[in-house]
A = this chain, B = another copy of it.
Amino acid sequence: MDDLTEMLKGTLEGCVLEIIGSEETYGYAITRRLNELGFADVVEGTVYTILLRLEKNGLVQVTKRPSGLGPPRKFYALNDAGRKELATFWAKWEYITSRIDKLKEGGK
């Protein structure tokens, strides 16, 4: 699949929130998860910028833990604000997809 980056604007952050929300995890693993999910071109740098932003916006709780194979990992978990943000993300997603599907059906 060719370049999806423009269409991922705004949704990729939601995906990362969802992944963090379902399990406390860290950047490198999140990137792998996104890749195996089908977002093959998403690269580490992108995920880390999202992670930094989430942290800056106070949506996650961060815990640093040693790794065993490599430098220490920064584990991310959602806090209350993060869970709330995730919920609004899904609400927006539902809204947009429903409208676009309607448009696609040639609907009024």
Contact = CB atoms under 8 A, between A and B. Distances in A.
Copies held by the complex:
2
A12 to B, nearest CB: 10
Contacts of A4: 92, 95-96
B37 A103 contact: yes
A69 interface: no
Interface residues of A, number: 34
Contacts of A98: 38
Contact of A95 (B38, B91, B93, B106): B38
Contacts of A108: 36
Interface of A: 1-2, 4-11, 15, 18-19, 22, 36-39, 88, 90-93, 95-100, 102-104, 106, 108
User: Top 6 closest A-B pairs, CB basis?
Assistant: A6-B10, A9-B9, A7-B10, A38-B99, A1-B95, A37-B99
